[in-house]
Amino acid sequence: MKSKFMSIPLALAVTFAFSAFAQTGSAATPSHPAETPSGPATTTTSATGTKVGTINIQEAIFGTNEGRRDMEALQKKFEPKQAELKSQNDELEALKKQLTDQGPKLNEDALANLKQQIEGKQKSFDRSVQDAQEDFGNQQQDVATRILKKMAPMIVKYSTDNGFGIIVDTSKPWPQSNVLWWGEAVDITRPVVEAYNTQSGVPAPAAPAGAAKPAAPRPSGASKPAAPKSSAPSQ
């Protein structure tokens, strides 16, 4: 079950995470020399590089071992709800088939009763699907926000250490975002994921028996267009 409510809240989470980190960095830098606290020097978040970099923030979050582990746990948690929704849908489809097959043969009262059953079950099913999507989306968002709070300073550090002055998110393809194309050399998704995995210490989730090896955050040595091919159907 894939949430439809992920993109906007995640964008807000990104804004809040980096705003909070920037404020922390600014607060750690006194405005007057006399106010410099004793102890280790603080690191500011001022951008001094000139390169433009990219990151697929959603891919980075859920490409970490922690993100994969927590999403697998969340999906398993929702398996009973998925089974319940499937049962409701099967029952609804059976009634619709009954209406198609037997409708012309039913008397007026029986036909009206059957239609009423279908309408009631359809409304109940639609509400259940919406509630499940919202619940799943909210819990998915909790996972993303928690990981992003820890990932944000890593993104800033990697960017400043490697001469980047700005990082743009490529989670959405053009024209949903302003990024038309980017080269692999400026994408920092993979190194950020690797740095996060090292710091978190969370091992990679075990792959199910016979399952294909999970894809890396992005294959190296190639450029990737942000826009989908013209022959691909719109999403």
Low-confidence residues in the chain, pLDDT < 50: 1-8, 23-44, 216-235
Dihedral of the alpha carbons of 22, 27, 29, 35, in degrees to the nearest 10: 180
In a domain, 104, yes or no: yes
In a domain, 64, yes or no: yes
Of 198, 199, 191, whose CA–CA distance to 220 is shortest? Answer: 191
In a domain, 226, yes or no: no
Q: What's the angle, vertex CA 43, arms to CA 37 and CA 45, rounded to 5?
A: 130
Number of domains the chain contains: 1
In a domain, 84, yes or no: yes
In a domain, 227, yes or no: no
Helices (H), the chain: 7-27, 57-63, 65-77, 79-102, 108-161, 189-200
In a domain, 232, yes or no: no
In a domain, 103, yes or no: yes
Confidence at residue 211, expressed as pLDDT on a 0 to 100 scale: 57
Distance of alpha carbon 218 from alpha carbon 198, whole angstroms: 18
- C-alpha 84, offset from chain centre: 25
Confidence at residue 206, expressed as pLDDT on a 0 to 100 scale: 85
- Domain span holding position 76: 7-28+44-205
Confidence at residue 191, expressed as pLDDT on a 0 to 100 scale: 97
Q: What is the pTM of this model?
A: 0.69
Of 148, 107, 174, whose CA–CA distance to 14 is shortest? Answer: 148
Q: What tens digit of pLDDT does each residue of 38-91 get?
A: 333 334 456 577 899 999 999 999 999 999 999 999 999 999 999 999 999 999
In a domain, 216, yes or no: no
